[in-house]
C-alpha cells in the first residue's frame, strides 16, 4: 500500500531507536498567505452539496444619471441591471494510510506526525486555489515599454504583450495605485489596497515601507499574516509558497507541483494589487481531519483531511475587476 510502513526505513522504520530524539521535526514550511485575502462565505447556510452552484449577484448603477428638473418636466425613470456569477462546490482532500505495526513499534506518535503533515498539505492547497482565482483577473500591468520605472501599461484582456524587464519599484506601485483609484476600485481595507508577492519582488523598496507599527497605532486592527508595511496606501504581504514566474508564454509553471518558471530577466515576479471584494470562498464544510475506519482486522489505518467548498473570482469582467496583476509576456 502507499503510505507509512514499518518495513521501509524512510517510511516508518526510522521512527524507532533507543537513541531517537523525542523532539518532532518537520520540513521547513513556506509562508502560505493567499487564502486569508479571500472573502469567506458560509455555503452551508444555503444547504449546498458537492456539484452545487454558489451564486452571487452584481448590481449595476442606475442606467441614466439623475439631474435637475424643470417645473413642468416629468420625473425621469430609469433602472439597473443585475449580473449573476457562480462557483461550483467541489470536494478536496488528501490522506496518509499507515499500519498498525508502525503504531505499535514507533517511538514517536504516528498520528500526531500525520496530523501535522496533513494540515500543512491542506494550507498549501487552499493557497493554490486562491492564487489561481486571483490569476484569472483580466487586468494586467507591466512597465511601459518593458523598461519604465515610473509608468505601467494596463491591459484588460487577461494577458500582457509586454516583456517585463525591470525590478518592481515605487514608481510602479504609484502607477498601479493611481490606476486602481481612477478606475473607482474600492480599497481592500478602508482606502488601502493590498499587494501580495514574493519577498524578492518587494525587496527593491522594502526599506521605504511605513512600518506596521506606525499605522496600527492609528487604529488599523486587522494585520494580515506576512504583512510587512505600507506605501502609497498599499499594504504589502509576503508569501513564499506559490512559485515564481508563470509569464504569459509559460508552459511549465505549476503551483501544484511547486514548479517555477522565472520571467526571462529574473528581475521580478508576479504580484497582485487587490481592491475590495476580489475572490470569494464558499465554505460548505470547513476542512477537517478524519480517521479511516480500520481495515484488515485493525492492521490497516489512515488519516485524511477533507473539505467541501470552492473559490471564485467575484468580478471577472474588465468593467468591475478588482485585481490588478503585475505581469510579463515572457
Phi (first) and psi of residue 215, to 5 degrees: -95, -15
Q: Is the pLDDT of residue 221 over 60?
A: no
Spacing of C-alpha 141 from chain mean position = 19
pLDDT in the model for residue 29: 62
For 88-129, write each residue's pLDDT tens digit.
999 999 999 998 888 887 777 888 889 999 999 999 999 999
- Whole-angstrom distance, CA of residue 306 vs CA of residue 184: 39
- What's the chain's length in residues? 330
Pairing of strands 139-143, 323-326: parallel
C-alpha separations of 230 from 124, 196, 207 in Å: 26, 12, 11
**pLDDT at res. 94:** 96
C-alpha cell at position 90: 467541489
Q: What is the pTM of this model?
A: 0.88
Domain ranges in the chain are 132-278+314-326
What is the chain's mean pLDDT, rounded?
89
**What is the reported pLDDT for 27?**
55
CA distance 189 to 168: 23
Spacing of C-alpha 33 from chain mean position: 7
Q: What is the pLDDT of residues 129-169, one digit of tens each?
A: 999 999 999 999 999 999 999 999 999 999 999 999 999 99
Closest CA to 308 of 91, 126, 106: 91
Is residue 9's pLDDT more than 70? no
Is the pLDDT assigned to residue 19 strictly greater than 50? no
How many Cα atoms are found within 13 Å in the side-chain-facing hemisphere of 49? 0
According to the model, what pLDDT value does residue 214 have? 83
Amino acid at each position: 500500500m502507499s503510505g507509512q510502513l514499518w518495513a521501509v526505513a524512510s517510511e516508518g522504520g526510522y521512527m524507532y531507536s533507543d537513541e531517537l530524539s523525542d523532539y518532532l521535526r518537520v520540513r521547513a514550511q513556506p509562508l502560505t498567505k493567499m487564502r486569508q485575502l479571500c472573502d469567506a462565505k458560509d455555503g452551508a447556510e444555503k444547504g449546498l452539496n458537492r456539484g452545487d452552484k454558489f451564486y452571487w449577484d452584481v448590481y449595476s448603477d442606475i442606467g441614466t444619471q439623475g439631474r435637475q428638473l424643470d417645473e413642468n418636466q416629468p420625473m425621469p425613470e430609469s433602472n439597473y441591471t443585475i449580473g449573476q456569477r457562480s462557483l461550483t462546490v467541489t470536494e478536496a482532500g488528501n490522506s496518509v494510510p499507515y499500519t498498525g505495526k508502525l503504531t505499535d513499534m514507533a517511538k514517536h506518535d504516528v498520528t500526531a506526525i500525520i496530523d501535522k503533515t496533513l494540515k500543512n498539505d491542506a494550507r498549501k492547497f487552499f493557497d493554490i486555489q486562491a492564487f489561481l482565482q486571483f490569476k484569472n483577473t483580466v487586468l494586467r500591468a507591466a512597465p511601459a515599454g518593458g523598461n519604465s520605472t515610473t509608468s505601467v501599461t494596463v491591459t484588460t484582456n487577461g494577458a500582457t504583450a509586454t516583456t517585463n524587464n525591470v525590478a518592481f519599484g515605487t514608481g510602479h506601485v504609484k502607477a498601479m495605485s493611481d490606476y486602481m483609484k481612477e478606475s473607482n476600485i474600492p480599497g481592500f481595507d478602508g482606502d488601502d489596497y493590498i499587494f501580495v508577492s514574493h519577498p524578492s519582488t518587494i525587496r527593491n523598496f522594502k526599506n521605504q515601507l511605513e512600518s506596521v507599527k506606525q499605522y496600527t497605532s492609528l487604529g488599523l486592527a486587522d494585520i494580515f499574516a506576512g504583512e510587512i508595511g505600507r506605501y502609497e496606501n498599499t499594504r504589502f504581504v509576503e508569501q513564499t509558497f506559490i512559485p515564481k514566474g508563470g509569464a504569459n508564454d509559460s508552459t511549465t509553471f505549476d503551483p501544484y507541483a511547486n514548479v517555477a518558471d522565472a520571467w526571462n530577466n529574473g528581475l521580478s515576479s508576479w504580484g497582485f494589487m487587490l481592491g475590495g471584494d476580489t475572490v470569494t470562498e464558499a465554505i460548505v464544510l470547513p476542512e477537517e481531519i478524519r480517521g479511516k475506519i480500520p481495515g484488515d482486522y485493525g492492521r490497516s489505518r489512515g488519516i485524511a483531511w477533507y473539505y467541501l467548498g470552492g473559490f471564485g473570482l467575484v468580478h471577472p469582467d474588465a468593467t468591475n475587476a478588482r485585481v490588478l496583476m503585475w505581469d510579463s509576456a515572457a
